[in-house]
């Protein structure tokens, strides 16, 4: 196999340096399935890793990209025949293992998901970790009793990739969705995805009492911090809060009152270290009852592999709405 192009992240002199390198297959992390990568995506985590703004990688150098989709080139795992369409998200990609920003990837077979019927590589990466995370949150909430009749679901960080896809999926399932966004001009976009109401984050009255008037049946939170505290105070009896992100802060302060008086459940969502049986089940749901209806609206840009470096700063500046698909080629 000839050498191929990869966007690799290095640590040099205490600084993070990301650049395009020419690699051979033997340069990649070990694995028993080789995938010819055709598409990837950009997540906030990818921008943190590539710019050094966040400590994501646990060893260097590594190929960036926490998502990939493509075709099996060769396999030592009998579950995956050459020519099969597959995807991989999370699982340590671009943390401890070379990721998806390369023309080839080599990964353990247990990480590989057969492409669900009805999805293709572009659509799978339009969803990527963001879509998987949103769907995993809904899946866990419903496992814990959440249903549309339980009241509206608040989605914070609504205009980002996870938020956008969560709104689309929830509304398709029959939930009434209340979007919370810091982008004043995002309301038409969010309502087009299925939000019944859009609350500007800047105008929220977060309250101070251990329990405020209940306004939501549950929530998917991308922000953490004071917003997560507010949600614990305002989710109704037996509602679930799926905690996904920390864009507003890692720390939050609350009391036990929401949990022991209203039975509120706080569910942690880890999309990387997810059991394989859950991963398979969630991707099947993404292709069926949780399939977003507005993918073409949520994918706001498609770029080539060579355009990656210029794409990351906007993520760090919270200047991105929706999803970016990366064509690896």
Which of the 8 DSSP states describes residue 171?
H
Lowest mean pLDDT among 18-32, 146-160, 308-322: 308-322
How far apart (Å, rounded) are the C-alpha atoms in residues 274 and 129? 12
- 5 forms bridges with which residues in the sheet? 22
How far apart (Å, rounded) are the C-alpha atoms in residues 72 and 297? 30
Check: CB of residue 60 under 8 Å from CB of residue 13. no
* pLDDT value for 38: 98
Of the candidates 323, 290, 268, which has an alpha carbon nearest to the alpha carbon of residue 135? 290
Look at residue 318 and tell me whether its pLDDT is greater than 90: no
Of the candidates 270, 266, 247, which has an alpha carbon nearest to the alpha carbon of residue 255? 266
Question: Angle CA(212)–CA(166)–CA(307) in degrees, nearest 5?
Answer: 130
Kind of pairing, strands 265-268 and 240-243? parallel
| Alpha-carbon torsion angle 220, 222, 223, 224, nearest 10 | 60
CB neighbours of residue 65 within 10 Å? 33
Domains 4-115+294-327 and 131-268 alike in fold: no
Look at residue 100 and tell me whether its pLDDT is greater than 90: yes
Of the candidates 27, 96, 101, which has an alpha carbon nearest to the alpha carbon of residue 64? 101
Which SS3 state, helix, strand or coil, does residue 306 take? helix
How far apart (Å, rounded) are the C-alpha atoms in residues 228 and 246? 9
How far apart (Å, rounded) are the C-alpha atoms in residues 69 and 307? 18
Q: How confident is the model at residue 1 (pLDDT cuts 50, 70, 90)?
A: low
* pLDDT value for 239: 98
Check: CB of residue 328 under 8 Å from CB of residue 101. yes
Q: Which sequence spans correspond to the domains of the chain?
A: 4-115+294-327, 131-268
Instruction: Match 């690799």 to its residue by tokens.
Output: 8
User: Edge-to-edge strands of the sheet including 197-200?
Assistant: 197-200, 177-181, 153-156, 218-221, 240-243, 265-268
CATH assignment of 131-268? 3.40.50.720
For residue range 160-208, list pLDDT tens digits in order: 999 999 999 999 999 999 999 999 899 999 999 999 999 999 888 899 9
CB neighbours of residue 174 within 10 Å? 9
Check: CB of residue 221 under 8 Å from CB of residue 227. yes
For residue range 196-251, list pLDDT tens digits in order: 999 999 888 899 999 999 999 999 999 999 999 999 999 999 999 999 998 889 99
Look at residue 58 and tell me whether its pLDDT is greater than 90: yes
CATH assignment of 4-115+294-327? 3.90.180.10
For residue range 254-309, list pLDDT tens digits in order: 999 999 999 999 999 999 889 999 999 999 999 999 999 999 999 989 999 999 99
For residue range 269-279, list pLDDT tens digits in order: 999 889 999 99
For residue range 17-34, list pLDDT tens digits in order: 999 999 999 999 999 999
Tokens of residue 249, six digits: 């802060």
pLDDT, mean over the chain: 96
Rounded to 10°, the helix 308-316/44-51 angle is 110
Tokens of residue 326, six digits: 């990366």
- 58 forms bridges with which residues in the sheet? none
């Amino acid at each position: 196999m000839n050498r191929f192009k990869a966007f690799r992240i290095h640590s040099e002199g205490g600084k993070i340096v990301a650049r395009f390198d020419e690699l051979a297959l033997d340069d990649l992390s070990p694995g028993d399935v080789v995938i010819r990568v055709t598409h990837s995506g950009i997540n906030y985590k990818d921008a943190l890793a590539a710019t050094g703004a966040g400590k994501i990688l646990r060893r260097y150098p590594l190929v960036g990209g926490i998502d990939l989709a493509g075709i099996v080139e060769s396999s030592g795992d009998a579950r995956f025949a050459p020519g099969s369409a597959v995807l991989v998200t999370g699982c340590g990609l671009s943390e401890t293992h070379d990721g998806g920003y390369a023309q080839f990837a080599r990964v353990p077979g247990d990480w590989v998901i057969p492409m669900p019927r009805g999805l293709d590589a572009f659509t799978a990466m339009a969803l990527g970790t963001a879509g998987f995370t949103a769907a995993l949150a809904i899946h866990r909430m419903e496992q814990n009793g959440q249903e549309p009749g339980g009241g509206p679901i608040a989605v914070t960080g609504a205009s980002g990739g996870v938020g956008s896809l969560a709104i689309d999926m929830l509304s398709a399932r029959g939930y009434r969705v209340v979007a919370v966004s810091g982008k004043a001009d995002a309301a038409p976009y969010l309502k087009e995805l299925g939000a019944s109401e859009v609350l500007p984050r800047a105008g929220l009255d977060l309250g101070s009492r251990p329990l405020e008037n209940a306004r939501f049946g549950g929530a998917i939170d991308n922000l953490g911090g004071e917003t997560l505290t507010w949600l614990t105070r305002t989710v109704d009896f037996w509602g679930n809060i799926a905690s996904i992100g920390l864009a507003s802060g890692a720390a939050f302060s609350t009391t036990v009152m929401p949990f022991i008086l209203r039975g509120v459940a706080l569910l942690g969502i880890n999309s990387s270290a997810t059991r394989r049986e859950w991963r398979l089940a969630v991707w099947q749901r993404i292709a069926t009852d949780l399939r977003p209806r507005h993918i073409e609206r949520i994918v706001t840009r498609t770029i080539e592999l060579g355009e990656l470096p210029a794409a990351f700063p906007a993520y760090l500046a919270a200047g991105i709405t929706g999803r970016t698909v990366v064509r690896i080629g």
